[in-house]
């Protein structure tokens, strides 16, 4: 049974999503990640959303949709319930059936309930927090905004250009076409492994662009609903709901 979850520090949209996810499951105790390694934890602590499956994990925690970085691996066996995508499963030599989807898809109803009724922007741009001040304009959606404000502003766009993966996932849940872009690759290089990992369960092959040249994507309704339902089922099962 899960009694706590890892809470990542910082004021970043993706990192903050673990709070509404686990709170909806009735799990409010969080472990603040402050140490160099995730040590002294048990299977009752969950790793949810995030690229967390690295050598920093030195406790047998329960994995609920986390992803690998394609660079290094946990050094001990973990309690894998499901992972973000096919890339993570292959890299960690896990059963392919564990590649269910990113934990954020659990928030389908939460995110869609915040969908605005009108569109104010043809294009919304979501920078990584490192590039948050590079672009100016009312259509810039800062990843440091409060969660609900971020989602509502994203929902007012007809198209989302995202430098952050969970910005793209938010758009996908809102059923808004999105494109993976780089704003300033010197400051923040695109992390191809995790993007391709997330889209692998949606059968989407990505090409990465910039704010002037990009390809747009949106998961099919069938794949979208399948991933949302499977992620939710896994989360509810582990939480004994």
Phi, psi dihedral angles at 23 (to 5 degrees):
-65, -35
Q: How far apart are CA 70 and CA 60, in angstroms?
A: 20
Q: How far apart are CA 9 and CA 195, in angstroms?
A: 22
The 10 Å Cβ neighbour count of residue 34 is 7
Provide block-wise average pLDDT over 10 residues at a time, the chain (241 residues).
86 91 93 75 93 92 97 95 98 98 98 95 96 92 96 98 97 98 92 97 97 97 98 91 56
In 4-126, where does DSSP find H-type helix? Answer: 13-16, 18-24, 86-91, 108-112
Q: How far apart are CA 227 and CA 231, in angstroms?
A: 6
Beta bridge partners of 53: 68
Q: What is the pLDDT of residue 109?
A: 97
Helix, strand and coil content of the chain, in percent to the nearest 5, comes to 30, 15, 50
> Two tokens at 224?
């979208």
Which residue, among 124, 174, 128, has the nearest Cα to 11 in the 3D structure?
128
Q: How far apart are CA 102 and CA 104, in angstroms?
A: 5
Rg (CA), the chain: 17
Q: What is the pLDDT of residue 7?
A: 84
Q: What is the pLDDT of residues 102-114, one digit of tens each?
A: 999 999 999 999 9
Q: What is the pLDDT of residue 167?
A: 97
Which residue, among 197, 199, 144, has the nearest Cα to 171 in the 3D structure?
199
Work out the burial of residue 135: count CB atoms within 10 Å of its CB; fewer than 13 is exposed, 13-18 middle, 19 or more buried.
Answer: middle
Specify the pTM: 0.96
Both ends of the chain: CA-CA distance in Å?
11
């Amino acid at each position: 049974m899960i009694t706590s979850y890892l809470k990542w520090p910082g004021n970043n949209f993706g990192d903050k999503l673990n709070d509404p996810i686990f709170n909806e499951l009735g799990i409010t105790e969080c472990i603040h990640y402050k140490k160099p390694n995730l040590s002294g934890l048990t299977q009752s602590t969950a790793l949810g959303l995030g690229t967390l499956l690295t050598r920093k994990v030195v406790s047998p925690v329960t994995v609920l949709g986390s992803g690998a970085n394609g660079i290094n691996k946990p050094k001990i066996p973990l309690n894998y319930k499901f992972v973000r995508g096919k890339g993570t499963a292959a890299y960690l030599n896990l059963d392919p059936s564990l590649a269910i989807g990113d934990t954020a898809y659990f928030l389908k109803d939460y995110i869609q309930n915040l969908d605005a009724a009108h569109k104010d922007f043809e294009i919304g741009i979501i920078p990584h927090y490192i590039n948050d001040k590079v672009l100016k304009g009312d259509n810039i959606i800062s990843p440091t905004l409060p969660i609900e404000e971020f989602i509502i502003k994203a929902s007012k766009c007809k198209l989302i250009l995202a430098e952050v993966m969970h910005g793209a996932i938010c758009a996908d849940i809102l059923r808004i076409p999105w494109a993976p872009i780089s704003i300033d690759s010197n400051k923040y290089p695109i992390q191809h492994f995790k993007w391709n990992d997330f889209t692998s369960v949606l059968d989407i092959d990505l090409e990465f662009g910039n704010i002037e040249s990009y390809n747009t994507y949106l998961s099919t309704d069938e794949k979208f609903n399948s991933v949302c339902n499977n992620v939710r089922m896994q989360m509810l099962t582990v939480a004994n709901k």
